[in-house]
Amino acid sequence: MTSSINSGRTCDVLVVGSGVAGLATALAAAHQGLDVIVAEQEAHFGGTAAISAGWAWVPGNPKGAAATGDTREEVETYLKALAPDTYNEAGVTAFLDTVAEAITFFEDNTEVNFVYPDKAPDYQMDLPGARIGGRAILPDDADARMLGERRHELQPYLSSYTVFGYMPQVGPDLNKVVQANRSLRAFCYVAGKLTRTWFDALVHRQPLKRTNGSALITRMVRSALDAGVTVWTATPVEALEQDDTGAITGAVLGGVHSGTVHARLGVVLAGGGFTGNTTLRRKHFPHDVTGDNHITPTIGHNGSSAEMAITAGGRISDAVFTPGSWAPVTEFRQLRDGRQRLFPHLRQIGLPGMITVDRTGRRFGNEALSYHDFGRQLLEHDKDHDDTYAWIIADAACMHTYGIGYAKPWPIPRKYFHDIGFLIKADTLAELAGKIGADPVTLEETVTRFNGFARSGVDEDFGRGSTAYNHFRGDPTHKPNPNLATLEKAPYYAVKIRMGDLGSFAGIDVDGHSAVIDDDGQVIPGLFAVGSAAVSVFGGGYPGYGSHIGPALIFGYRMGRDIARLKQRSASRAG
């Protein structure tokens, strides 16, 4: 990486942030022949998108719709049911109008390719218009070498998600990994993947096979470089430049390429949300008025996009029914240096033999909902407390078969997971209750009652295991209900979860063209926001797998496609 001082570098479009929204904008703008700079504050490009599973919720994508017969009417019905009071008609219309065109653009004009799983149920299968498949898609795997030397600037994987360095694709690949302690075939498959990963790490200093969000970013950056986009890392955008008319004309950059960049058509804020910004969290997250009741696994979501928009006259919109995209997270310390590490529980807590209890030892909701809807339950349950937390509880059988998140199942030794403070173990439920500060009698009663539900296959308290989505999060081989098994084999285990997120849903207020608007609803010329930086297009609802990356891809594409026309629109209004 070479450093340079920009004394008055000019481009057409300056993009803040190299996540999925920023790169989608850059790709579509460069395709129009525009000169684009993407400035990324981190030493690595890709942001949270690069550590994500890479799913994109894009209903109406040509292959998915053709395979399932999905209709626009059904999608709208579902989205209205999901967020009835905050349904964003203009945003949803813009989104659905563009999905097919954008996905076709990426597949036909860039290195980005998608995989189309048959089954990826919407998160609220009990609502009208929900579908079991066809709407959520995944990026195809990639080889890091397609980035040449710039592969070393690719955001590394979230290490707590890798299996000894290997990152399984969240799909059939991951299903094999979780079967590896129960099937010789799956074991050999995983052994092959690990051998390859370790070889690459040794010889190439990086696992070359990229999956999930990392594959998406690899493919997007390759395409951006091919299209002539300038991608700078370690270069934070620090302040916007605004002229006398209030129009945004460029920005001041710090870091490796510090200086001023003039942007003829405008600046696109794609720097992610504000969940890493204590001040903004305290203001917009009701559970975090203290500023220390939330931990985010996102990368670079420091709220700088929001702050720059506010300074320029913009505002944060809270017109969403949940201000964040919730995810339970476990915090632990790295043994080597005590550094904080996080494990977001996005997949597992609806598996048989695992429950979650509150601080007293009581269940409080359906554990097989999505992480977001589970998070909503926890926030509601803990609303009278300053600290939001719960415990995952499992018995020895569950631990042996599935593990609990980062704490891997048999045959992986457990000592390490105890030493880092991830896993708590006890010989009896009463002893476990003592260790986690819960009431022993309450915890025993909770488990006894749940065991009854597991035997009958019906959770009478919270309906766990009652929808296709619940079952998808369970173990399909487990009978009678893929989400329910008794907890009766000692020892017992507990893992603490706190509230975290995958991005914010409250965000910079924009019009249907992603133009940032002020308190009077007037467009600030030359300033745009896409991705997690902008307010949620789904009104704070979380429709299904890929509810961040879907809109980030689509609105990023629209932004790049339309920015020249939008500039003319605001210039003619001003004239």
Ligand X SMILES: Cc1cc2nc3c(=O)[nH]c(=O)nc-3n(C[C@H](O)[C@H](O)[C@H](O)COP(=O)(O)OP(=O)(O)OC[C@H]3O[C@@H](n4cnc5c(N)ncnc54)[C@H](O)[C@@H]3O)c2cc1C
Cβ 232 to ligand X, closest distance in Å? 9
Whether the ω angle into residue 491 lies within 30 degrees of 0, i.e. cis, is yes
CB nearer ligand X, residue 125 or residue 552: 552
Q: How far is the C-alpha of 556 from the C-alpha of 31, rounded, in Å?
A: 13
Looking up tokens 């945004």 gives: 248
Cβ 254 to ligand X, closest distance in Å? 8
What number of H helices and E strands is found in the chain? 16, 21
Q: Are 555 and 95 in contact (CB under 8 A)?
A: yes
Q: Are 327 and 501 in contact (CB under 8 A)?
A: yes
* Residues pairing with 136 in the sheet: 57
Cβ 552 to ligand X, closest distance in Å? 4
Cβ 172 to ligand X, closest distance in Å? 16
Q: Where are the strands (E) in 292-451, listed by range?
A: 316-317, 324-333, 340-344, 354-357, 389-395, 424-426
Cβ 430 to ligand X, closest distance in Å? 35
Q: How far is the C-alpha of 232 from the C-alpha of 14, rounded, in Å?
A: 11
Q: How far is the C-alpha of 139 from the C-alpha of 58, rounded, in Å?
A: 12
CB nearer ligand X, residue 59 or residue 531: 531
Cβ 213 to ligand X, closest distance in Å? 6
What is the dihedral sign for C-alpha 135, 88, 326, 530? positive
CB nearer ligand X, residue 180 or residue 534: 534
Cβ 269 to ligand X, closest distance in Å? 8
CB nearer ligand X, residue 18 or residue 401: 18
Cβ 308 to ligand X, closest distance in Å? 7
CB nearer ligand X, residue 22 or residue 539: 22
CB nearer ligand X, residue 242 or residue 481: 242
Write the CA distances from 389 to 379, 423, 430, integer angstroms.
9, 15, 20
Neighbours of 1 (CB within 10 A): 13
Cβ-in-10-Å burial (0-12, 13-18, 19+) of 7 comes to exposed
Q: How many Å separate Cα 435 from the centre of its chain?
A: 32
Binding site for ligand X (CB under 6 A): 16-22, 39-42, 47-49, 51-55, 158, 236-237, 270-272, 297-302, 304-305, 344, 502-503, 531-533, 546-549, 552
Cβ 268 to ligand X, closest distance in Å? 11
CB nearer ligand X, residue 298 or residue 483: 298
Cβ 38 to ligand X, closest distance in Å? 9
DSSP codes joined into one string, 128-194: TT--SSSSEEEEPPEEGGGGGGGGGGBPPP-GGGSBTTB---TTHHHHHHHHTTT-HHHHHHHHHHH
Structural tokens at position 204? 């190439």
CB nearer ligand X, residue 484 or residue 502: 502
Angle at which helix 20-31 crosses helix 89-109, to 10 degrees, equals 70
